[in-house]
């Protein structure tokens, strides 16, 4: 009887958790840190992953879809919808990143053929459909270029006020990771990013400048390697590749870009956010793809006086972004490792 009661309460607690869990769609270009972010989300009771939509970025769309299916298969989660999406950025050629992610995007780790099947729907259409199905309940977490999200809001702008949160991994307000100015996800589709930042919602921006200070080190890898299982072994192999690659490039650990964006939705107290207005540079000789964050909250306004302009006052700007300016890296890494270990 006691055993029965205990299992009843366990089931009741699981149901309560599932009901209070935040519904999310992860739009992803898997990707080593994408795989880490996806498994973090799937192992976190605070989140209910409704779907993964795949965007080209780190790898081409076809490879990304295969990777996403292999990841959900590894996790035994064929209940999660996985759909392909755009096949190229809106207005430029795709730039893939095998240099950072390995030939297959997953550090060369050869996962078994996927058991889960791709959904036939087009990613941006699936996003539109699910936002209408769960109005004010769904959080979008794009961790790749913003092509799919831009296509969705362009086709159906009515989804904007119906989305609960949008948390992106992308951008930076203090220099890029592709070049001096731009972060890779924004650089890969600046026109899409401009559409997303100007859509009328508040974009939570978890940028590369914070990701680069949220490092997974070799010591963390040793910690993760203490436990064995399909998911821990997979993540440990990815992390080993990623830490080695990062060390060769002068970092002391691997930047946890995408997992930090997911963690922001799991536990918002992990990050510091500051409201500001962010514009995406789509031209610029050196700055195409830069997210230009206005930290003052205003622009100076000039008026013509004779042959020159004079500053006449200040024009307040409406914030369109909650920009992550800091993260509790230690607490985040501990959360990440414990969730991957299934604790
Ligand atoms: Ca990514």
Average pLDDT per 10 consecutive residues for the chain, totaling 343 residues: 58 60 98 98 98 98 98 98 98 96 96 97 98 98 99 98 98 97 98 98 98 97 96 97 94 97 98 98 97 96 98 97 98 98 90
CB atoms within 10 A of CB 91: 11
Cα of 4 vs centre of ligand 1, distance in Å, is 44
Using CA atoms, how far residue 342 sits from 36, 142, 281, 303, 326, in Å, is 13, 24, 41, 61, 27
Compute the distance from residue 319 Cα to the ligand 1 centre, in Å: 25
Nearest alpha-carbon partner for 343 in 224, 168, 177: 224
Distance of CA 28 from the midpoint of ligand 1 (Å):
6
Instruction: Report in angstroms the alpha-carbon separations of 69 from 65, 119, 178.
Output: 6, 10, 28
Tell how far the Cα of 275 is from the centroid of ligand 1, in angstroms: 24
pLDDT at 303: 97
Please check whether residue 122 is in contact with residue 81, taking contact to mean a CB–CB distance below 8 angstroms. Answer: no
Cα–Cα nearest to 56, from 121, 138, 123, 111:
123
Residue 304 pairs in a beta bridge with 309
Q: Decide the pairing of beta strands 22-28 and 47-54.
A: parallel
Distance 30 CA to ligand 1 centre (A): 6
70 C-alpha to center of ligand 1: Å? 16
| Residue 34: partners with Cβ closer than 8 Å, 6 or more residues away | 28, 58, 67, 143, 144, 258
Say how many Å lie between the CA of residue 314 and the centre of ligand 1.
Answer: 38
Looking at residue 293, its pLDDT comes to: 98
pLDDT at position 262 is 98
Ligand 1 centroid – CA 107 distance (Å): 14
In this prediction the pTM is: 0.94
For residue 7, the CA-to-ligand 1 centroid distance in Å is 39
Give which of 201, 238, 282 is closest to 30, Cα–Cα.
238
Going from the Cα of 295 to the center of ligand 1, the distance in angstroms, rounded, reads 26
Q: How far is the CA of 81 from the centre of ligand 1 (A)?
A: 18
Gap from CA of 170 to ligand 1 centroid (Å): 9
In angstroms, the Cα distances linking 333 to 260, 287, 325 are: 9, 32, 17
Give the whole-angstrom CA distance, residue 336 versus residue 225. Answer: 13
Distance CA 118, CA 277 (A): 37
| 310 CA to centre of ligand 1 in angstroms | 45
């Amino acid at each position: 009887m006691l055993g029965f009661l205990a299992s009843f309460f366990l089931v009741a607690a699981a149901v309560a958790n599932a009901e209070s869990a935040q519904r999310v769609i992860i739009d992803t270009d898997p990707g080593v840190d994408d795989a880490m972010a996806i498994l973090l989300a799937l192992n976190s009771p605070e989140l209910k992953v409704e779907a993964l939509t795949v965007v080209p970025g780190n790898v081409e769309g076809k490879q990304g879809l295969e990777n996403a299916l292999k990841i959900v298969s590894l996790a035994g989660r064929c209940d999660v919808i996985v759909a392909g999406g755009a096949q190229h950025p809106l207005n430029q050629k795709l730039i893939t990143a095998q240099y950072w992610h390995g030939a297959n995007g997953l550090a060369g780790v050869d996962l078994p053929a996927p058991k889960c099947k791709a959904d036939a729907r087009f990613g941006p259409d699936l996003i539109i459909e699910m936002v209408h199905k769960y109005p004010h309940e769904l959080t979008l977490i794009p961790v790749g270029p913003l092509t799919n999200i831009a296509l969705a809001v362009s086709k159906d702008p009515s989804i904007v006020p119906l989305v609960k949160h949008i948390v992106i991994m992308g951008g930076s307000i203090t220099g890029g990771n592709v070049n001096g100015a731009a972060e890779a996800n924004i650089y890969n589709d600046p026109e899409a990013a401009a559409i997303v930042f100007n859509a009328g919602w508040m974009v939570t921006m978890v940028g590369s400048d914070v990701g680069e200070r949220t490092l997974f080190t070799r010591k963390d890898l040793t910690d993760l390697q203490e436990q064995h299982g399909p998911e821990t072994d997979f993540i440990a192999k990815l992390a080993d590749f990623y830490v080695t690659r990062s060390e060769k490039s002068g970092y002391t650990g691997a930047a946890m870009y995408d997992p930090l964006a997911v963690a922001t939705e799991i536990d918002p107290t992990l990050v510091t956010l500051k409201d500001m207005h962010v514009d995406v540079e789509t031209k610029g000789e050196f700055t195409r793809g830069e997210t230009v964050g206005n930290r003052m909250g205003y622009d100076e306004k000039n008026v013509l006086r004779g042959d020159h302009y004079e500053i006449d006052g200040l024009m307040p700007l409406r914030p369109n972004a909650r920009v992550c300016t800091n993260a509790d890296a230690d607490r985040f890494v501990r959360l990440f490792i414990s969730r991957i270990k299934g604790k």
